[in-house]
Amino acid sequence: MHIDADLLVAACADDSDAGGVVISTDIEPLGGPGSPVKPAVYAGGRFQLDERWVGEGADRAVAQVVVIDNVPSQANRLEAALERLAPDLGLPTVVLDLSEVGPLPPHLPAKLTSFRFPHRQADAYLRDSALDGKPFAKTEIGATILGATADNPHALFQWFPQALLLGFWQSHLGKKGSQAKLARSWVSEIVGVRPGSVDTRTLGLKGDPLNLSIDEKVSYDPDFPMEWTFVAGEKKSGGSKKQESLSEIGHGQIPFRTGQEALAGVSCESIDQRTTLSLPGLRRVWCGSTEMNATGRALLAAIGLAGHAAAFGRPFSLRSGCDLRPVSQRWKWLSDHDHDIEPITVDDAIDLVQECARRAEAAGLPVGSAWHQELVLQPSAELAKVIKATYPAGD
């Protein structure tokens, strides 16, 4: 069984009983089965541990897992893949241009795009932007985007279709503003099953070829640590500059401090990715006619499949120490009779998105030819001040 536009449109109709797609992927570290990988580390220096039912039939049992990449993180990776595919898919992009803020540190992006806003169209960066010098929320296009809902989604189809797939909560517009919510229809996570020790810490020492004495003191401004002076004798207090050990600016042999050692990678019995596309979830999106409903939802489903194929259909890197590759995939179509389906390739997914976009545009949605464009915004004056205050070295 293959996924095509006809199947998606029929499955996304108002009266459809189709359930969706489940993608189960067996994953291995690049170093081979059992090689340690680095799960995400959360506040307090800890991994996310949980339990899952694993196995099949008589072998099915509860097992401890460590969450290597959780649901919100997987959504961000899907968006990053969609950003790279945007020219091929024709997806629109909203850009917050930071070039007029002034010089910024090189590690900061020169712009933020609609695929990188943490809360998509409900994000504070979009709210605190300007279009042609006017607050974005007070422009016609801004008001329609910020005021969009699952029952009035046209502006999101035109500018943020990924938000209709991955969900949103418009929570930054005040008590009298929109509080619109839409649950995500695309859910994915990667877990390591039956992990070994999850408390091992990485021990180490930052070396110094000259072995400078860390007992020596230096004086420096924390905002400009490259401009420091050697302080001979005892450590002094007072003044605006810090006087600290030479190790604070990176010189000398610096051991990892007790209690601050980083968590080490974890060896797992197996690593699984479970991804679901919920068609009942997509049926929360109402466009105004039965044809727009079916074709619009099918387009959102196709965008999700394209993003997944691009992000996870080949070896990928989640973070330092976490390089993975898919070794087998099982795609299942859920309906009155479940069916195994062929995994979709990136090229086929691009064709699928383009075909679904043509059908949705013909039904009256602002997609297809309404895409292929970029909406460029600037930070508001107050946001620009905050950015410059955070990074004063740019002045």
223 located within any domain: yes
pTM for the whole structure: 0.91
Are 171 and 219 contained in the same domain?
no
Per-residue model confidence (pLDDT) at position 259: 67
Handedness of CA 171, 177, 182, 186 (dihedral sign): negative
Query: How many percent of the chain have pLDDT more than 90?
Result: 73
The burial class, CB within 10 Å (0-12 / 13-18 / 19+), for 336 is: exposed
pLDDT at 134 over 90: yes
* Mean pLDDT of the region 282-292: 97
Consecutive H or E run containing 244: strand 242-245
Are 21 and 81 contained in the same domain?
yes
Are 127 and 186 contained in the same domain?
yes
pLDDT at 196 over 70: yes
pLDDT at 2 over 60: yes
- Residue 217: phi, psi to the nearest 5? -110, 145
Are 175 and 236 contained in the same domain?
no
Are 158 and 98 contained in the same domain?
yes
Handedness of CA 353, 279, 183, 25 (dihedral sign): negative
Are 98 and 215 contained in the same domain?
no
Are 56 and 82 contained in the same domain?
yes
Number of domains in the chain: 2
Are 177 and 37 contained in the same domain?
yes
Per-residue model confidence (pLDDT) at position 313: 95
Give the whole-angstrom CA distance, residue 39 versus residue 266: 7
Per-residue model confidence (pLDDT) at position 137: 93
pLDDT at 332 over 90: yes
pLDDT at 394 over 50: no
Per-residue model confidence (pLDDT) at position 67: 98
**How many residues appear in the chain?**
395
Per-residue model confidence (pLDDT) at position 362: 98
Handedness of CA 353, 355, 356, 358 (dihedral sign): positive
Q: What is the mean pLDDT of the chain?
A: 92
- Residue 45: phi, psi to the nearest 5? 65, 60
Are 213 and 317 contained in the same domain?
no
DSSP 261: P
* Mean pLDDT of the region 365-394: 91
262 located within any domain: no
pLDDT at 228 over 70: yes
Q: For residues 218 and 246, is the Cβ–Cβ distance under 8 A?
A: yes
Are 178 and 307 contained in the same domain?
yes
DSSP 34: T
Give the whole-angstrom CA distance, residue 119 versus residue 374: 19
Are 163 and 249 contained in the same domain?
no
Can you give the residue range of the structural domain that contains 209?
Answer: 205-255
